């Protein structure tokens, strides 16, 4: 037996030593908590495929915000379920739309909280696609115009960050221009720069009632087979003025997070999406996985891959542990 001079186990002997050499840390300040906002009063509906996640009416938001703040989670992202939908997604940019009211409520009752908003049309269109449909196709340029109006309406309501998730070409630039033109030059853009056409969004589409009635999103979201294309998408968004680049989903795309981390200086966000949450929860509920440990490990892995911040339905639960 030849004894090695260097023994990695020396620094794993106890928690003090392990924490001394730990390369990656996770803090509540790096977590962004998604909120689903629904019409009505006193509503708090659990989403069946996402145990522990609720749709809330606007009047419930202040309480939720206080809970987040208490746990050190200072940042939420809003998704809206409008009262009614139409073919062009008018509800997305209505002055008194569900998200616009939600932003105002949060800014009034919990001004310390940073509020991001998802900018897309799929929750607001009757057909469930992320844009305006012309001749059976999602019309890129017509959609971009509506997205810019939507982002501007969020900024007017008080949003700190707008996050376009539609994957139309050129939308970041148009949104930046619209914001700047109206003196919202301090409103940041967190671009869903690299968003794959993923089956892991399933539970979210139930939660936000936004599954396409016909067809799928592969005509605008990225092909899961592509990595180099992620660099082109991110490059475009940087050139158009994105402040934060997001990769979505998270765990199946750790290589893409690392790729962007190595190639760009911009802050990078990872979205641990609904399907990732649902599968961990389901296994935990069945007693097949240790919930706290897989939650912590999955989030730490996103950080290790290079994400500065993480959007996750576990945000509050994780923060409680930290
Ligand atoms: C809307 C949007 C989706 C998600 C975030 N914004 C759904 C989709 O693109 O189909 C997915 C989030 C999740 O699964 O947690 N475009
Ligand atoms: Zn969409």
User: What's the pLDDT score for residue 2?
Assistant: 80
| pLDDT (mean) for 172-195 | 98
Q: Which two tokens stand for residue 35?
A: 């909120």
**For ligand 1, is residue 201 a contact (CB within 6 Å)?**
yes
**18-53 pLDDT per residue, tens:** 999 999 999 999 999 999 999 999 999 999 999 999
In angstroms, the CA 188 to CA 241 distance is 9
On whether 48 is known to bind a ligand per the annotation, the reply is: no
In angstroms, the CA 309 to CA 218 distance is 26
**For ligand 1, is residue 205 a contact (CB within 6 Å)?**
yes
Closest ligand (CA of 89)? 2
Say if strands 114-119 and 44-47 run parallel, antiparallel, or are unpaired.
unpaired
Query: How deeply is 159 buried, as exposed, middle or buried, from its count of CB atoms within 10 A (0-12, 13-18, 19+)?
Result: buried
**56-101 pLDDT per residue, tens:** 999 999 999 999 999 999 999 999 999 999 999 999 999 999 999 9
**119-171 pLDDT per residue, tens:** 999 999 999 999 999 999 999 999 999 999 999 999 999 999 999 999 999 99
| pLDDT (mean) for 188-214 | 96
Domains of the chain: residue spans and CATH: 26-321 (3.20.20.70)
In angstroms, the CA 207 to CA 54 distance is 9
User: For the range 136-141, what are the long-range contacts, defined as Cβ-Cβ under 8 Å and sequence gap of 24 or more?
Assistant: 137/219, 138/168, 138/219, 138/220, 140/168, 140/169, 140/170, 141/170
**For ligand 1, is residue 276 a contact (CB within 6 Å)?**
no
Task: Please give the distance, rounded to the nearest whole angstrom, from the Cα atom of residue 221 to the centre of ligand 1.
Answer: 11
Task: Please give the distance, rounded to the nearest whole angstrom, from the Cα atom of residue 204 to the centre of ligand 1.
Answer: 6
User: What's the pLDDT score for residue 261?
Assistant: 98
Is 289 a residue whose pLDDT tops 80? Answer: yes
In angstroms, the CA 197 to CA 200 distance is 9
Could you tell me the CA-to-CA distances from 148 to 173, 199, 229, 243 in Å, in that order?
9, 27, 24, 16
With bands split at pLDDT 50, 70 and 90, how would you rate the model's confidence at 189?
very high
């Amino acid at each position: 037996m030849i004894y090695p001079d260097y023994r990695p186990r020396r620094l794993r002997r106890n928690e003090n030593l392990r924490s001394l050499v730990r390369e990656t840390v996770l803090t509540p300040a790096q977590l962004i908590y998604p909120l689903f906002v629904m019409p009505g009063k006193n509503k708090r509906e659990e989403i069946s495929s996402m145990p522990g996640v609720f749709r809330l009416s606007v009047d419930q938001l202040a309480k939720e915000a206080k809970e987040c703040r208490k746990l050190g989670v200072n940042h939420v992202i809003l998704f809206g379920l409008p009262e009614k939908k139409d073919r062009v997604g008018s509800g997305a940019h209505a002055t008194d739309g569900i998200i616009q009211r939600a932003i105002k409520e949060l800014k009034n009752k919990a001004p310390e909280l940073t509020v991001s908003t998802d900018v897309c049309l799929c929750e607001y269109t009757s057909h469930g696609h992320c844009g305006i449909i012309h001749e059976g196709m999602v019309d890129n340029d017509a959609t971009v115009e509506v997205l810019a109006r939507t982002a501007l309406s969020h900024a007017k309501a008080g949003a700190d960050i707008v996050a376009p998730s539609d994957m139309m070409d050129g939308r970041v630039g148009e949104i930046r221009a619209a914001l700047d033109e109206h003196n919202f030059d301090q409103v940041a853009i967190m671009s869903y720069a690299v968003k794959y056409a993923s089956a892991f969004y399933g539970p979210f589409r139930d939660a936000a009632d936004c599954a396409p009635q016909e067809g799928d999103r592969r005509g605008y979201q990225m092909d899961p087979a592509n990595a180099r294309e992620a660099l082109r998408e991110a490059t475009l968004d940087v050139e158009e003025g994105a402040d934060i680049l997001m990769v979505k989903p998270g765990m199946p795309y750790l290589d893409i997070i690392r790729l962007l981390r190595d190639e760009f200086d911009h802050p990078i966000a990872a979205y641990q999406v609904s399907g990732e949450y649902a599968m961990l929860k389901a296994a935990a509920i069945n007693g097949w996985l240790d919930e706290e440990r897989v939650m912590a490990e999955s989030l730490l892995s996103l950080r290790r891959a290079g994400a500065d911040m993480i959007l996750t339905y576990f945000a509050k639960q994780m923060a409680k542990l930290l």
